[in-house]
Amino acid sequence: MENMLDPPAEGLETPRSSTENVSTVLSQTSATSTFLKNAGLETPGSNLASAAREAQLREQLQAEKIRANLLQQELDTLKKKGEETEESLAKTQEVMRRTQQEMEEFKKKQEANDLIIQRILNLNLGNRAT
């Protein structure tokens, strides 16, 4: 670790921070060291990992937004179809109601016509008997 603190040779690389040096030493001695994390310091690798995780989460969020929009469009389409079906059903029921009324009127007229025909037949039969 003391060798790591020595300044680098001229023009080779920038000096490493103390955190980077401690992180390197700790990773060599223990693969599961949480010293820097517990101390509230981030290791150089954790920045990359968190940036990658953040990018992954952003992609997931974008995918979820797209999926939500598609589901909303599908819901709107289904609602519209449902409303159209209800309107069509209401029209069909109205046509059925009118048809039933007409049938009832035709039945009444048929009954009246049957009575008239029956009376005419009765009159004809009465005239033949005399």
Domain boundary assignment for the chain: 1-41
Spatial contact of 36 and 23, defined as CB atoms under 8 Å apart: yes
DSSP H or E segment with residue 51: helix 44-129
Looking at the chain, the whole-number percentage of residues with pLDDT higher than 90 is 50
Please spell the DSSP secondary structure of 106-122, one letter per residue. Answer: HHHHHHHHHHHHHHHHH
Interatomic CA distance for residues 109 and 130, integer angstroms: 32
Give the pLDDT score at 38. 64
- Residue 6, pLDDT above cutoff 60: no
* Token representation of residue 73: 């469009």
pLDDT for 130 beyond 70: no
| Residue 119 structure tokens | 């009376």
Instruction: Report angle CA 61, 62, 66 to the nearest 5 degrees.
Output: 115
Residue 105, pLDDT > 90, answer: yes
Residue 40 — left, alpha, or beta (φ > 0 → left; ψ -120 to 50 → alpha)? left
The mean pLDDT of 26-39, rounded to a whole number, is 59
54 or 41: which leads in pLDDT: 54
Q: Please give the pLDDT value at position 50.
A: 79
Confidence label for 42 from pLDDT (cuts 50, 70 and 90): low
Supply the pLDDT for residue 125: 82
User: Which tokens belong to 91?
Assistant: 């029209």
pTM of the shown model: 0.45
The tokens of 14 are what? 């920038």
DSSP-derived 3-state class of residue 41: coil
